[in-house]
Chain A
Amino acid sequence: MSLNFPHTQAVYARDQELRVRRLFPLDTDVKVREGKRVFSDTLLAQVEPRTVAVRVDIPAALGLPPAETAKHLTLPLGSTVTAGQVVAKTRRGIRTATVSSPIAGTLLEVDAETGEVLIAPEGAGQFTALISGDVIEVLGRSELTIRTVGSRVSGIVGIGQPVIGPLRVLTPAADTALSSQSLPADLAGAIVVAGGIVTAAAYRALAAAGVAALVTGSISPREIGAAFDWDDGDHLSSWRPLAGDRRFAPRAKTPFAVMATEGFGTRGMSPELFAVLGGWAGTTVTLFPTTGVTGALMRPELIRTDDSDIDTDALPDEATLTPGAVVRLTDQVRLGQRATVVDRPYRHRFPNGVMTDAIDVDLGTGDRTPVRVVNVEVLLVAPHRDPEFSHDPA
Chain B
Amino acid sequence: MVATRANTSSSAASGAQEIAPESLLVADFGRGTSRAFLLEQVAGAIRLVARAEGPTTFDLPFDDVSVGWLQTLRQIEWDAGRVLIERDNVLTPQRQRGDGVDAMLACSSLGEPIRIAVIDTGPSPMLAPAITALRKTHVSILQASVPATKKDTTWVPTWAEAIRAYHPDTVVLLLDGEQTFAVPRAIQLLKGISGSISPRRGVIFGEATVLGQTLTLFGSRSKVRSITPSGKTGEAFGAELEAEARGDWAERIDRTDLRAALREVTGTVPTRAHAVDLVTRYIARVSGQSVLTFGIDDGSHAHWASGQEAAQTAFPRLDINAGIVNLTAREVADAVNWLPFDIETDDLMTWVLNRAIRPWAAPEAEVDIRIEQALLRQVIRRVAADLDRTRPGALESADLLIAGAGIDRWHDAAGAALCLLDGLYHVPASGIVGLAIDSDGLLPVVGTLGMTHPAVASDIFQHDTLQHLGSAIVLTSLPKPGEPACRVELQVHGGQKREVTVKAGSLVTLPLASGERATIVARPEKKVSIGASAAGKPVTFGGERPIAGGAAGIIIDARGRQPLPSPAVPRTGLVRQWIEAVRGAAGTTGAERTERA
Contacts and interface: CB of A to CB of B under 8 A. Distances in A.
B358 A239 contact: no
Interface in B364-393: 364-365, 367-368, 371
Contacts of A182: none
Nearest to B360: A2
A291 interface: yes
- Name the residue in B32, B167, B322, B353 with the highest tally of chain A Cβ atoms < 10 Å from its Cβ: B353
Given A239-B325, A239-B353, A1 B594 contact: no
A39 to B, nearest CB: 25
Contacts of A116: 157
B363 interface: yes
Among the interface residues A26, A332, A371, which one has the most CB atoms of the partner chain B within 10 A? A332
A234 B142 contact: no
B356 A248 contact: yes
Contact of B350 (A237, A264, A333, A352): A264
B167 A354 contact: no
A5 B349 contact: no
Interface in B333-379: 346, 349-365, 367-368, 371
Contact of A234 (B60, B330, B360): B330
B297 interface: no
A375 B361 contact: yes
A272 to B, nearest CB: 19
A332 B363 contact: yes
A333 B367 contact: yes
B533 to A, nearest CB: 39
B57 interface: yes
Given A1-B57, A236-B353, A244 B166 contact: yes
B351 A114 contact: no
Contact of B166 (A243, A333, A350, A374): A243
B593 A352 contact: yes
A113 B192 contact: yes
A234 B329 contact: yes
A29 interface: no
Contact of B361 (A240, A298, A332, A354): A332
A243 B154 contact: no
A293 B327 CA distance: 16
A221 B368 contact: no
B322 A332 contact: no
B55 interface: yes
B349 A235 contact: yes
Q: Counting chain B CB atoms within 10 Å of each CB, which of A50, A242, A330, A351 scores highest?
A: A351
B323 interface: yes
Interface in B122-176: 140, 142, 154, 156-157, 160-161, 165-168
Contacts of A156: 357-358
A57 B327 CA distance: 28
A59 B104 CA distance: 59
B352 A236 contact: yes
A372 interface: yes
Interface string A292-308: 01111110000000000
Contact of B326 (A5, A57, A240, A264): A240
B267 interface: no
Contacts of A105: none
B167 A294 contact: no
Nearest to A5: B61
Interface string A105-123: 0000001011010000000
A331 B353 contact: no
B95 interface: no
Contact of B323 (A264, A294, A354, A375): A294
A297 B140 CA distance: 20
A59 B160 CA distance: 14
B112 interface: yes
A236 B329 contact: yes
A243 B61 contact: no
A293 B317 CA distance: 12
Contacts of A157: 353, 357
B31 interface: yes
B265 interface: no
Q: Which of B359, B360, B410, B593 has the most CB of A within 10 A?
A: B360
A contacts with B: majority SS: loop
A51 B196 contact: yes
Contact of B351 (A6, A57, A237, A332): A332
A2 B55 contact: yes
A311 interface: no
B346 A222 contact: yes
B597 interface: yes
B412 interface: yes
Contacts of A353: 411, 590, 593
A352 B590 contact: yes
A374 B361 contact: yes
B161 A351 contact: no
A5 B357 contact: no
A50 B197 CA distance: 11
A114 B157 contact: yes
A113 B154 CA distance: 13
B157 A332 contact: no
Interface in A33-81: 50-51, 55, 57, 59-60
Contacts of A6: 59-61
Given A236-B332, A264-B353, A332 B192 contact: no
A172 interface: no
Given A222-B346, A333-B368, A350 B597 contact: yes
Contacts of A332: 351, 354-355, 361, 363, 365, 367-368, 371
A297 B60 contact: yes
A283 interface: no
A199 interface: no
B61 A263 contact: no
A8 interface: yes
Nearest to A332: B368
A375 B350 contact: no
A4 interface: yes
B357 A248 contact: yes
B328 A234 contact: yes
Contacts of B477: none
Nearest to A372: B362
A354 B281 CA distance: 31
Contacts of A354: 411, 590
Contacts of A296: 59-60
Contacts of A241: 317, 325
Contacts of A297: 59-61
B198 interface: yes
Contacts of A50: 195-196
Nearest to B345: A235
A116 B196 CA distance: 13
B115 interface: yes
Contact of B349 (A2, A51, A236, A333): A236
A88 to B, nearest CB: 15
Q: Which of B188, B329, B358 has the most CB atoms of chain A within a 10 A radius of its CB?
A: B358
B142 A243 contact: yes
27 contacts: A5-B59, A8-B61, A114-B157, A156-B357, A235-B349, A239-B353, A240-B326, A264-B353, A264-B354, A265-B354, A291-B357, A293-B356, A293-B359, A294-B323, A331-B363, A331-B364, A332-B355, A332-B368, A333-B364, A333-B365, A335-B354, A351-B597, A352-B410, A353-B411, A353-B590, A372-B364, A375-B362
Nearest 8 Cβ contacts at the A-B interface:
A244-B167, A352-B590, A6-B60, A351-B593, A333-B365, A264-B353, A351-B597, A235-B329
Interface of A: 1-2, 4-8, 21, 26-27, 50-51, 55, 57, 59-60, 111, 113-114, 116, 156-157, 220-222, 233-237, 239-245, 248, 263-265, 291, 293-298, 330-335, 350-354, 356, 371-372, 374-375
Given A239-B356, A297-B59, A356-B362, 12 more contacts: A8-B62, A27-B198, A111-B192, A236-B349, A237-B329, A243-B167, A263-B353, A293-B322, A294-B317, A331-B361, A331-B363, A332-B365
